[in-house]
Each structure stands twice: as structure tokens, then as C-alpha cells.
């Protein structure tokens, strides 16, 4: 991606991911985050949650995938930050929870593009102030 090809206001191609319980199990094993709120409805509800929720870092990583798919090189990501606003509640079925990601270039300067990222599950906005800065080559 070059500076000449990118302008403020550009929309990134969207990304949709079905977050399933199987995905949570795989992520728990890879991350060693075995907190039962990520696999047990009983444990999640005991803490006042609607049910099993996805790992925050999984949601954060999926959101960044929107950007890395766009720039085609994860090494070009200079910074990334998010604020979690809602968890992804993952039902115990084969479909899971459909999470939609969208991105927009908000600024371009000095060879760097700033991208704002939105993540939604149904009507819920999952992330606030999510943004990434990527080096343009």
C-alpha cells in the first residue's frame, strides 16, 4: 500500500467472522486463558454475564485482522489500541456470534495511515476508539 493509493475517507473491505465456542476453546488453549467465562454458561452467569463470552484479546485480534488483510503485511502496523465497550456473547450452537468489522482511513501523513475500526455484533458496538496506524510503503 503506498501513500499515493490511500486517502482519508477510504473504506477498508469489511470482514465478518462467526465466533464459535470451538474457536474459544482453540483460543483458550493457545493463549492459556482458561477462565471458565469463556466456556461455561454457569460460570459466566454466576458473574452476571448473559452467557459465555469471547476473550477480549480474541476480539481485538480479529479487529486488527481487518487492517492486516488490507495492508497485506502485519509488520506494517505501527500501533494499535482499542477500548472494549461490550463483550461478544457466544451461543452454544454451530453458528456462534456473527461479528462484523469495518474500517475507515481517518488520516494520512508522513507515510502513515490512521485507520478507525468498528466492531459490531448485532446492534452492539464492541469497541470504542479502536484505531491502528500503519506504515505506507
pLDDT at 1 over 70: no
Q: Is residue 46 part of a domain?
A: no
Closest CA to 116 of 128, 104, 108: 104
Q: Is residue 113 part of a domain?
A: yes
Angstrom distance (rounded) from CA 120 to CA 56: 14
Q: Which CATH number belongs to the domain containing residue 68 in this structure?
A: 3.10.129.10
Predicted pLDDT of residue 3? 61
Number of domains in the chain: 1
The three-state secondary structure class of 114 is strand
Q: Give the pTM.
A: 0.94
Instruction: Please report which confidence band the pLDDT of residue 106 belongs to, taking 50, 70 and 90 as the band edges.
Output: very high
Q: Is residue 94 part of a domain?
A: yes
**Domain containing residue 122:** 3-18+54-135
Q: Mean of the pLDDT values across residues 77-96? A: 97
Instruction: Count CA atoms within 13 Å of residue 85 on its CB side.
Output: 13
Amino acid at each position: 500500500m503506498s501513500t499515493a493509493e490511500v486517502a482519508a475517507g477510504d473504506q477498508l473491505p469489511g470482514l465478518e467472522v462467526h465466533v464459535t465456542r470451538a474457536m474459544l476453546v482453540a483460543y483458550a488453549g493457545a493463549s492459556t486463558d482458561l477462565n471458565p467465562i469463556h466456556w461455561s454458561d454457569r460460570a459466566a452467569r454466576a458473574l452476571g454475564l448473559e452467557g459465555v463470552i469471547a476473550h477480549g484479546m480474541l476480539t481485538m485480534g480479529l479487529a486488527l485482522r481487518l487492517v492486516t488483510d488490507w495492508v497485506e503485511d502485519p509488520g506494517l502496523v505501527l500501533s494499535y489500541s482499542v477500548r472494549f465497550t461490550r463483550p461478544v456473547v457466544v451461543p452454544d450452537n454451530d453458528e456462534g456470534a456473527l461479528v462484523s468489522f469495518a474500517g475507515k482511513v481517518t488520516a494520512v501523513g508522513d507515510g502513515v495511515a490512521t485507520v478507525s475500526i468498528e466492531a459490531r455484533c448485532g446492534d452492539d458496538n464492541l469497541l470504542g476508539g479502536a484505531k491502528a496506524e500503519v506504515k505506507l510503503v
